[in-house]
Structure 1
Amino acid sequence: MIAMITWLKLHPFLALAIGAVGVGIAAGLGATDSVAAFVEGFGATMGSVGILIGFGAMFGKLLADSGGADRVVDTLVGRSGPRTLPWMMALVGAVIGLPMFFEIGLVLLMPVIILVARRSGLSLMRIAIPTLAGLSAMHGLVPPHPGPLVAVSALNANLGLTLALGVVVAIPTVIVAGPLFSKLAARWVDVPVPELYVTTEDLEGAEAAAERQRPGFAATLAAILLPVVLMLGKAIADVIAPDSEAAAKNLLDFLGTPVVALGLAVLAGMALLGRGGGMDRKAIASSLESSLPPIAGILLIVGAGGGFKQVLIDTGIADVIAEA
């Protein structure tokens, strides 16, 4: 697959699809079953991660078009200097990553990462790496994320102690892998800031953006934190009363489901960000519609990755790798 992408210059989606079917046939799964496994994995991935990416793109575009992203970025950049900004972004990533899966936090914070890098003049690596370090450390080390919970169950460990120790380990991990490592990474790799989430301030300058109606900082923060709070509520309920059948627990389980939480964030964004930013219904609809074409390629690649994974599972290669 790497050769097809780098040498033949095939699109990653095509390379993954061809590679998955080829691996299936080579492993003895058969051509028809290989294609069926790829399609099954593709559909399963798009049914979960694909929806999240779509909702995240919609929310991010609303955040940018309404001026809400400008409000958050101006606050972060205005209250942090070039030295402290990477540390601030690491903290933002850790806070968002505490209740949220890595991929959900990433799609939620993507417009903020890009706009902070563009507005501050710092390298994208100096902004993105600390944020990703905060997200990934929380996802990998701190309950209620799946990995730590599986470890707690397998080892019959104390959940509260595991959570406390996870935070203790996560703090130095984020510091080293985030702000400190980003200094070296920025020297080694020069990544230009992508032309995504372009706002009024980027196009017309700060003065023109200031004259335009923008949602308040509190409203913007509420829209961003809504899925965080919903998922955190579900996580706390799962820890306190995992087997409860109470109506409140069922409600928290429903609202805290990632797809529901991000879907509600989009609806809240339409009101708090769209209407709060002076956008009419036509402008809001146009913003949501324009958010999806740029991520079409990403969705296909992510789905193809899920299809490739399913082929590895059905052929038994995944078990061989796990046992090696």
Structure 2
Amino acid sequence: MASLSGVGVPAAGAAEPITSAGDPRLGLAVIGGIAVIVLLISLFKLHAFLALTLGSLALGAFAGAPPDKVITSFTSGLGSTVAGVGVLIALGAILGKLLADSGGADQIVDTILARAGGRAMPWAMVLIASVIGLPLFFEVGIVLLIPVVLLVAKRGDYPLMRIGIPALAGLSVMHGLIPPHPGPLVAIDALDADLGVTLALGVLVSIPTVIIAGPLFSRYAARWVDLPVPEKMVPTRGSDGPDTRPGFGATVATVLLPVVMMLGKALVDIVVDDPAHPVQRVADVVGSPLVALLAAVLVGLFTLGRAAGFTKDRISSTVEKSLGPIAGVLLIVGAGGGFKQTLIDSGVGRMVLDVSKDWSIPALLLAWLIAVVIRLATGSATVATISAAGLVAPLAADMSTARAALLVLAIGAGSLFFSHVNDAGFWLVKEYFGMSVGQTLRTWSVMETLISVVGIVVVLLFSLVL
């Protein structure tokens, strides 16, 4: 199985466990380490990067591990995670910024909405959010799409939740299940799963999940919460946008290019199945995440940037501005990798493996439950994904390629369970839609729970035949 880097194995310099897997303190150390992270994030409002760093040190201290070895595990895990995933996050941010600033996102939205109306509109919003959500971070996708949702609801006189829930569902499913989003990428890396296979299965799992949690659930959400469109949030066209916009076909092709390249590699791996074959060797390079995303960015410079009339200086400025906002994401993901490596090197993974042998819970369901607990506690889907992946990594050692991919998706589904007041996304949605806390819980939070539950059900069904 191909992985992004070696993060899933013990870090260099910490190949030997820093504690004994049979140490009775390990279980309490895990609870204590996670509790420290939870309290620091939820109670003291500490940044997740600092919380994960302190939680890793606390985990080692509670387990009685030598401090120098704990630091080595954490820093090695942080470095290898950033090295394996950081470049991909940066490339995704550049592509997302080009898509937004060039007007390509607007072009996709306008084209689809021109062909949709009435009952088809919620399905159109799912399609828009899913396509645009591929290269964009969740928060960026919300900021980009919710003003469009408000505009469509106002102009078409649609119930706000009937249009908003499908768009939010499309973004959330992409964020939790589909690489190159940070959570799925780190889980793929930690479990040594194949990215192409995970992407293909992720798409298949996402389709029924987003349908149920999006257009179908929006019918009930619109009845439960009937709100007028908040006038102050409805966007007005500014004067600093591009003079021209890239074409619909070119924009969609650019967004889907890395997906097609990575899926192509997965197809070649299945059909050829010979690492020494020239076709597979070429596909391994062309379909690697780094090359696929880099190709999309380079193509996007022309199909998005130049097509919008951007000068060389404007393109350079757009790329530069795209990298600043991801600094915090990189730090959180890196610290999460350090926490994961500390879990692995402390022997926690082996302990989970040994304990789970006596349980009747399937590995996929176990991974989902662990992610759910961490998600509820910390409010962060990324932290839940990273931590759960570190805990269940040993379970993937003897799994087939398809099973390891399903394990990644099970964790991703669990990481989306019931967003509430400790999740930044909860407040972002609340403010944009002008809802109360209770209304946000009845709509957004229920939608997230549906995505999580339907996702794991579909994953378990796939496991029966794969």
TM-score band (shorter)?
0.7 to 0.9
Q: For residue 293 of structure 2, what is the aligned residue in structure 1?
A: 262
Please say if residues 131 and 255 of structure 2, whose CA atoms lie closer than 8 Å, have aligned partners that are also in contact: no
Query: RCO higher in 1 or 2 (8 Å CA, sep ≥ 6)?
Result: 1
Alpha-carbon spacing, 1:90–1:135, altered in 2? closer, same or farther (3 Å): farther
Cα distance between partner residues in 1 of 2:90 and 2:316: 15
SS of match in other structure, 1:243:
coil
Please say if residues 68 and 216 of structure 1, whose CA atoms lie closer than 8 Å, have aligned partners that are also in contact: yes
Cα distance between partner residues in 2 of 1:288 and 1:232: 26
Identify which of 85, 98, 108 aligns with 1:72: 108
Alpha-carbon spacing, 1:219–1:249, altered in 2? closer, same or farther (3 Å): same
Deviation at 1:232, TM superposition (A): 1.5
Q: For residue 28 of structure 1, what is the aligned residue in structure 2?
A: 64
Identity %: 42
Deviation at 1:248, TM superposition (A): 2.6
Deviation at 1:91, TM superposition (A): 4.9
Deviation at 1:203, TM superposition (A): 4.6
Identify which of 333, 345, 348 aligns with 1:302: 333
Structure 2: runs of 5 or more not aligned: 1-36, 151-159, 180-186, 357-466
Residue pairs, 1:50-129, within 5 angstroms = 50-81=86-117, 83-91=119-127, 105=134, 107=136, 114-121=143-150, 122=160, 125-129=165-169
Please say if residues 73 and 112 of structure 1, whose CA atoms lie closer than 8 Å, have aligned partners that are also in contact: no
Deviation at 1:220, TM superposition (A): 1.0
Deviation at 1:85, TM superposition (A): 4.0
Cα distance between partner residues in 2 of 1:265 and 1:110: 21
Count of residues paired in the alignment? 287
Q: For residue 243 of structure 1, what is the aligned residue in structure 2?
A: 274
Cα distance between partner residues in 2 of 1:238 and 1:125: 37
Q: For residue 40 of structure 1, what is the aligned residue in structure 2?
A: 76
Per-residue CA shift, 1:264-303, capped at 9, x if unaligned?
Answer: 1111111111111100110000000000111111111111
Alpha-carbon spacing, 1:244–1:5, altered in 2? closer, same or farther (3 Å): closer
Paired residue type of 1:77? L
Alpha-carbon spacing, 1:108–1:2, altered in 2? closer, same or farther (3 Å): closer
Please say if residues 17 and 308 of structure 1, whose CA atoms lie closer than 8 Å, have aligned partners that are also in contact: yes
Please say if residues 88 and 293 of structure 2, whose CA atoms lie closer than 8 Å, have aligned partners that are also in contact: yes
Cα distance between partner residues in 2 of 1:18 and 1:109: 26
Paired residue type of 1:117? I
Identify which of 204, 208, 212 aligns with 2:238: 204
Cα distance between partner residues in 2 of 1:12 and 1:146: 21
Please say if residues 133 and 178 of structure 1, whose CA atoms lie closer than 8 Å, have aligned partners that are also in contact: no
TM-score by length of 1: 0.75
Alpha-carbon spacing, 1:134–1:62, altered in 2? closer, same or farther (3 Å): closer
Cα distance between partner residues in 2 of 1:183 and 1:39: 48
Per-residue CA shift, 1:11-45, capped at 9, x if unaligned?
Answer: 11101100011101211222111111111111122
Per-residue CA shift, 1:117-154, capped at 9, x if unaligned?
Answer: 21121565441213433676778xxxxx979xx99xxx
Cα distance between partner residues in 1 of 2:144 and 2:120: 17
Q: For residue 286 of structure 1, what is the aligned residue in structure 2?
A: 317
Q: For residue 233 of structure 1, what is the aligned residue in structure 2?
A: 264
Please say if residues 113 and 124 of structure 2, whose CA atoms lie closer than 8 Å, have aligned partners that are also in contact: no
Q: For residue 133 of structure 1, what is the aligned residue in structure 2?
A: 173
Please say if residues 109 and 128 of structure 2, whose CA atoms lie closer than 8 Å, have aligned partners that are also in contact: no
Please say if residues 92 and 134 of structure 1, whose CA atoms lie closer than 8 Å, have aligned partners that are also in contact: no
Cα distance between partner residues in 1 of 2:319 and 2:178: 30
Cα distance between partner residues in 2 of 1:4 and 1:277: 45
Q: For residue 155 of structure 1, what is the aligned residue in structure 2?
A: none
Q: For residue 142 of structure 1, what is the aligned residue in structure 2?
A: none
Paired residue type of 1:304? A
Please, which moves more after superposition, 110-119 or 212-221? 110-119
Alpha-carbon spacing, 1:138–1:54, altered in 2? closer, same or farther (3 Å): closer
Deviation at 1:58, TM superposition (A): 0.5
Please say if residues 233 and 252 of structure 1, whose CA atoms lie closer than 8 Å, have aligned partners that are also in contact: yes
Instruction: Please give the root-mean-square deviation of Cα atoms over the aligned residues, in Å.
Output: 3.7
Cα distance between partner residues in 2 of 1:177 and 1:26: 41
Structure 1: runs of 5 or more not aligned: 97-103, 140-144, 152-158, 194-200
Paired residue type of 1:291? S
Cα distance between partner residues in 1 of 2:41 and 2:139: 25
Paired residue type of 1:128? L
Residue pairs, 1:134-153, within 5 angstroms = none
Cα distance between partner residues in 2 of 1:135 and 1:202: 28
Paired residue type of 1:116? L
Is 1:10 matched with 2:46? yes
Cα distance between partner residues in 1 of 2:214 and 2:318: 33
Q: For residue 396 of structure 2, what is the aligned residue in structure 1?
A: none
